[in-house]
Amino acid sequence: MAKLVKNPSIQSNIHDKITAKTGDEKVEVSEENVHGMPYLRAVVLEGLRKHPPGHFVLPQKAMEDMEVGGYLIPKGATVNFMVAEISRDEQEWAKPMEFIPKRFLPDGDSEGVDVTGSKGIRMMPFGVKRRICVGLNFAMHHLEYFVANMVREFK
């Protein structure tokens, strides 16, 4: 929400899209209304990219010696991933420190970014692959619902 307050044009854009979908007379955006709102989803994904729920995932142990990116990770070493830093990598993201929801729309440079890690890992706010948070879909739905209602109520 702070990113929307600091970016009034983005906030206005999402507000306009919400009211176009729900109409001006509705008091609350329903859970059904948030489906099929790609810009709302883009705002939520960009928020998660910039501010993941946790800055680390659960640590893992290397089961055998392995080399990753030219570094030796010895068997038994504890490995952790800095989730927030992955989303700030300038090799993966254009202008990574800026709040740009358009990057998650069909014509954006991050279209198709998969938060589950099945198509590659560019961001992982809920972990990835086998160890992904089981509440991912629940969380995404409620984040979209929450953001839509907050923007509608407090534009």
What per-residue confidence (pLDDT) applies to 80? 87
- Distance between CA atoms of 80 and 112, rounded to whole angstroms? 25
What per-residue confidence (pLDDT) applies to 6? 94
Per-residue pLDDT of the chain (155 residues; tens, 9 = 90+): 899 999 999 999 999 999 888 887 667 888 888 888 999 999 999 999 999 988 887 788 999 999 988 999 999 999 888 888 888 989 889 999 999 999 999 887 776 687 887 777 888 898 888 878 899 999 999 999 999 999 988 87
What SS3 string covers 40-64? HHHHHHHHHHHCCCCCECCCEECCC
- Distance between CA atoms of 48 and 42, rounded to whole angstroms? 10
Torsion of CA 88, 89, 95, 96, to 10 degrees: -10
Q: Binding site for heme, residues?
A: 133
The pTM is what? 0.87
What per-residue confidence (pLDDT) applies to 117? 79
What per-residue confidence (pLDDT) applies to 84? 86
